[in-house]
Amino acid sequence: MAVSIALAVSNRLRIIATAFLCLMAAQLVVASCTPEPAPYAVRVGVAR
């Protein structure tokens, strides 16, 4: 019985660890993308 509990916990931890690694990889991929120039960053003269 202890072995089956240990295997169940191990499988859950493996799934959680895999999901965590996938999220980290996705974060790195998104962070490495260069952002496109934003139109709101352009200075516009305001006449008063």
Domain ranges of the chain: 2-35
How does residue 23 score in pLDDT terms, banded at 50, 70 and 90? very high
3-state secondary structure of 48: coil
How does residue 35 score in pLDDT terms, banded at 50, 70 and 90? low
* Cα-based torsion angle of the residue sequence 13, 17, 19, 22 in order, rounded to the nearest 10 degrees: -170
Does the model's pTM come out above 0.95? no
Question: How does the average pLDDT of the chain come out, rounded?
Answer: 77
User: Which helix (H) or strand (E) segment is 3 a member of?
Assistant: helix 2-32
Q: How far apart are CA 12 and CA 16, in angstroms?
A: 6
Q: Say what the pLDDT of residue 39 is.
A: 63
Q: Say what the pLDDT of residue 22 is.
A: 92
